[in-house]
Structure 1
């Protein structure tokens, strides 16, 4: 039986991180043809080689999501290799923990460039190919910290809040043009980005204590939501936000 993404070409940013890797692996199992991108060519080559060995059709591309030129090259390589693009999953992101007064200008600029500008550039550059698909999906990765305040991580929260509303306005703009746009909002997920914090604090990590399920989520649990939004099962879903947080924002 064909997979849920059979016939589709999907470009994933941040593909070698925790959520990105889990999404790439799941999409490969569901028969997507993949364009895997990351800022590290070596890391993305290694992941692509492993998935190819398992039978996936994969193109590995180095991509700095904050660079218009890098995006243009990635999209052109996608066009040349596959001739189409049906799914864009913007996952690449960085975090900076200081609050308003302690955040530096350099720290602010880096987070905004990757998380916010990178998401916009991805949609801007890939949209012509996505529109040509006629049945395309964009999945942008925000965060629960794009929905509620934490009193810290000023730049990160600003960027993720921006991704939430950028997603909604793009969804309205392209609703009758064959492209759906939705955002995913992970809670505490056991990824390399926060693993050191989880190792130090374990189940007593404050956000885990506040999570009704009393545990961190797994990258695979977020990837399952990415799959739903990428595929045709979500054909009447656009401009929506999907929270994967064990109930953290429910109270």
Structure 2
């Protein structure tokens, strides 16, 4: 799996270890796992070599997860977005996922295994200044569905997950501001930013036998944030407050 040095990838390594998996970790530096490689997912030759070495060392590749990701557009409108930032974002998030899938799918065909790619709620809900990130993650979803369709006849399953706001290095600088964090939380029905371990739990399920008839799906892990397009948490709280007042009036009659 990729992106194992921190954030969601690190959380997934820990979660898979709990279930007895032996994990190969790929990251640009500081990868974690039973077998690790310092690899940039945009480097096709390096990815191919790491996968070949891992398969030879472990004997089989039973599950794959692509967690490596970047957000580089610096909240810039599309006309001002630097080409390099666009290319790098697509390169890591989408092409990097493709590189990992391309290298591992022949092994997954042999093991009848599963692959999980990391998309994002940004693929559905555009945010100002996030065009490159949103486009890359929408591409990850489409890539996942293509893999699911093409490789089902070989017993391979493919799904993606779309996390909302997680407490990771990618979001740390933004969420450390109390006003911004409060605004984010106000738009999440469950009332908090998620721990990466919660998405890791979902990915572990998708990689395991419990999801044996599930393929081609994207699982949203956002605390209900996608439900808030036409409302907000305050409106929901207001409804419950009015309901409680009605009950109190009825009880006093």
TM-score by length of 2: 0.86
Q: Which of 45, 50, 72 is equivalent to 1:74?
A: 50
Match of 2:63 in 1: 87
Match of 1:30 in 2: 19
Tell me how many residue pairs correspond in the alignment.
Answer: 226
Pairs within 5 Å for 1:86-235: 86-96=62-72, 97-134=75-112, 136-201=113-178, 204-235=181-212
Which consecutive unaligned segments of at least 5 residues does structure 2 have?
229-253
Query: What is the alpha-carbon distance in structure 2 between the residues aligned to residue 80 and residue 194 of structure 1?
Result: 36
* Residues 64-117 of structure 1, C-alpha deviations (whole Å, 9 max, x = no match): 111110111111111220121011100000002323122100100100000000
Please report how far the alpha carbon of residue 146 of structure 1 lies from its aligned counterpart in structure 2 after TM superposition.
1.4
- Looking at CA atoms only, which structure, 1 or 2, has the larger radius of gyration? 2
TM-score by length of 1: 0.87
Match of 1:20 in 2: 9
Query: What is the alpha-carbon distance in structure 2 between the residues aligned to residue 161 and residue 192 of structure 1?
Result: 22
| Greater fraction helix | 2
Query: What is the alpha-carbon distance in structure 1 between the residues aligned to residue 111 and residue 179 of structure 2?
Result: 45
**162-171 vs 93-102, which deviates more?**
93-102
Q: Answer yes or no: is the 8 Å Cα contact 1:65–1:71 preserved in 2.
A: yes
Please report how far the alpha carbon of residue 214 of structure 1 lies from its aligned counterpart in structure 2 after TM superposition.
2.0
- SS of 1:182's partner is strand
Query: What is the alpha-carbon distance in structure 2 between the residues aligned to residue 115 and residue 155 of structure 1?
Result: 10
Query: What is the alpha-carbon distance in structure 1 between the residues aligned to residue 179 and residue 20 of structure 2?
Result: 36
Q: 1:214 to 1:59 in 2, by over 3 A?
A: same
Query: What is the alpha-carbon distance in structure 2 between the residues aligned to residue 85 and residue 250 of structure 1?
Result: 37
Query: What is the alpha-carbon distance in structure 2 between the residues aligned to residue 67 and residue 191 of structure 1?
Result: 24
> How well do the aligned residues superpose, as a CA RMSD in angstroms?
1.3
Q: 1:212 to 1:110 in 2, by over 3 A?
A: same
Match of 1:53 in 2: none
Query: What is the alpha-carbon distance in structure 2 between the residues aligned to residue 204 and residue 93 of structure 1?
Result: 22
